[in-house]
Amino acid sequence: MADELEHKFEVEIKEREGRQKLPDSVKDELKASGMMDEKGKLKLKGVSPKMLKRMKQEYVECPILKEDTHFIQCFVCPNFQSRVMGKVLCKGGKL
Does residue 72 lie within any of the structural domains? yes
Determine, yes or no, domain membership for 61: yes
Domain for residue 1, yes or no?
no
* pLDDT at residue 45, as a whole number: 85
Does residue 95 belong to any structural domain of this protein? no
pTM: 0.85
| Structure confidence at residue 1 as a pLDDT band (50, 70, 90) | very low
The pLDDT value recorded for residue 6 is: 83
Structural domains in the chain (count): 1
Which band of pLDDT confidence, cut at 50, 70 and 90, is reported for residue 4? low
Q: pLDDT, tens digit, for every residue of 42-85? A: 888 888 989 999 999 999 999 999 999 999 999 999 999 999 99
pLDDT at 5 over 80: no
Tell me, yes or no, whether 4 lies in a domain.
Answer: no
The residue segments making up the domain with residue 64 are: 9-90
3-class secondary structure, 91: coil
- What pLDDT is stored for residue 18 in this prediction? 81
Whether 27 is covered by a domain: the verdict is yes
In a domain, 63, yes or no: yes
- For 46-68, letters b (16+ CB in 10 Å) and e give eeeeeeeeebbebbbebebeeee
Is 2 inside any structural domain? no
